[in-house]
């Protein structure tokens, strides 16, 4: 293997892990814990829906962006002039809200593990992210950061899965026969693990690593498949581990539900692992969120400016996070709210990607295969259905209240 091939492999695996760890953040862990204890094995349906939408959405997004060599906002402008600014604004604002929850998650984990005050824990974690983006080869550092912590999360969570011995058969049955009211958890999980900046993180990393164009299609496809597999494994492992805990009947606190669940499953070791997993999920999401948000500004050949803008994004997130912590605003509310908004906006973003795949001026000689379009349409229909289920009660109540 020559140096060029080795570099491409490193970039593609880094992109896959960047997307995966961005999707598996403290919001996902908190939401999955709360929903698993509320809906039990029926949450398997929501996990399956999120995986199906993930496959259709990510495969199409990575192909369109990496083959065209255009970022998400540029693709949107090619479909509808002016839409790029809308997508950029939605992604950056949503990412900023997510980062408040991510930094709060870092602080919560360090407080639980080491007794460090929340403000100090958030600041220390933010400084780690700042240092990472100020390193001379910052993107290589980001790649390795995502890989090491991503693998660590999977290994630690798998241990808890083995200890809890969840009812896998029951979960498999409920995949197709879920309980009523599962639509809200489904749309929230989709928005929190696929929507917003997460859809673009891996594909933008490929562009920054010099992987683009129709001739790189094999590498692009394999990178997207890697990301989907890593994310899927982590989601299923986390859900099953928590399902095993839920069947014991343990009661969770509102503030630290993830830690309570893992402690009930594996004692003090489980508590330690939950803190490490939660912090790793939070800090990698801080990094992925900040990187992807600034990548929309299209600062090619100006790495120094991108680095400092990314640092500014993290610092601004930290200042607001500390302010909210002092005001005792729960991070969980922010995370679930941002995830729900992302879930509602998913049909617009994914629809834009599917249309862009057939723009000759954008895609050149590339021809979108029927199977990719079919998967994308299935995912799009799923996002429309979930968004409709969520919005219908709100719209119908407003209509019914009018004379």
Alpha-helical regions (H) of 247-330? 257-295, 303-326
Mean pLDDT to the nearest integer, 35-54: 86
Q: Nearest Cα to 317, choosing from 129, 97, 88?
A: 97
pLDDT tops 50 at residue 171: yes
Exposure of 393 by Cβ count < 10 A (0-12 exposed, 13-18 middle, 19+ buried)? exposed
Mean pLDDT to the nearest integer, 286-304: 81
Considering the domain 9-397 in this protein, what is its CATH number? 1.20.1740.10
Q: Where are the domains of the chain?
A: 9-397
Q: Give the Cα separation of 138 and 329 in Å (integer).
A: 33
Residue 403 pLDDT class (50, 70, 90 cuts)? very low
Joined together, the tokens standing for residue 382 give 């799923």
pLDDT digits (tens, 9 = 90+) for 174-200: 888 777 677 777 777 776 667 678 888
pLDDT digits (tens, 9 = 90+) for 357-376: 999 889 988 999 999 999 99
Joined together, the tokens standing for residue 36 give 């698993």
pLDDT tops 80 at residue 58: yes
> What's the farthest any 2 CA atoms get from each other in the chain?
73
Q: Nearest Cα to 279, choosing from 111, 155, 135?
A: 111
Q: Give the Cα separation of 198 and 220 in Å (integer).
A: 17
pLDDT digits (tens, 9 = 90+) for 221-254: 888 888 888 888 888 888 888 888 888 777 877 7
| pLDDT of amino acid 332 | 61
Residue 143 pLDDT class (50, 70, 90 cuts)? confident
């Amino acid at each position: 293997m020559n140096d060029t091939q080795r570099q491409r492999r490193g970039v593609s695996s880094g992109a896959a892990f960047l997307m995966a760890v961005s999707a598996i953040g403290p919001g996902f862990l908190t939401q999955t814990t709360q929903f698993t204890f509320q809906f039990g094995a029926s949450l398997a349906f929501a996990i399956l829906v999120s995986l199906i939408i993930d496959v259709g959405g990510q495969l199409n997004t990575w192909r369109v962006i990496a083959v065209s060599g255009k970022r998400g906002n540029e693709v949107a402008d090619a479909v509808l002039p002016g839409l790029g600014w809308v997508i950029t604004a939605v992604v950056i604002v949503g990412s900023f809200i997510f980062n408040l929850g991510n930094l709060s998650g870092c602080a919560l984990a360090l407080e639980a593990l080491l007794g460090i005050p929340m403000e100090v824990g958030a600041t220390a974690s933010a400084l780690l992210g700042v240092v990472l983006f100020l390193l001379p080869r910052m993107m290589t550092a980001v790649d390795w950061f995502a890989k090491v912590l991503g693998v660590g999360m999977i290994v630690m969570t798998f241990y808890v899965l083995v200890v809890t011995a969840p009812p896998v058969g029951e979960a498999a049955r409920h995949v197709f026969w879920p309980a009523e009211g599962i639509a809200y958890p489904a749309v929230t999980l989709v928005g929190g693990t696929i929507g917003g900046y997460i859809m673009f993180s891996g594909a933008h990393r490929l562009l920054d690593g010099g992987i683009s164009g129709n001739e790189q299609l094999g590498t692009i496809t394999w990178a997207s498949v890697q990301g989907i597999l890593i994310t899927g494994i982590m989601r299923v492992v986390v859900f099953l581990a928590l399902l095993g805990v839920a069947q014991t009947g343990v009661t969770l606190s509102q503030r630290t539900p993830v830690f309570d669940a893992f402690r009930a499953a594996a004692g003090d070791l489980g508590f330690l692992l939950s803190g490490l997993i939660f912090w790793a999920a939070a800090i990698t999401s801080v990094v992925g969120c900040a990187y992807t948000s600034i990548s929309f500004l299209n600062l090619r050949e100006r790495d120094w400016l991108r680095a400092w803008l990314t640092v500014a994004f993290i610092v601004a997130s930290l200042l607001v996070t500390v302010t909210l912590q002092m005001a005792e605003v729960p991070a969980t509310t922010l995370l679930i709210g941002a995830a729900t908004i992302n879930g509602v906006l998913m049909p617009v973003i994914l629809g834009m990607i599917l249309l862009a795949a057939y723009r000759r001026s954008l895609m050149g000689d590339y021809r979108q295969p029927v199977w990719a379009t079919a998967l994308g349409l299935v995912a799009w229909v799923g996002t429309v259905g979930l968004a409709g289920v969520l919005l219908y009660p709100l719209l119908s109540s407003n209509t019914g209240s009018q004379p």
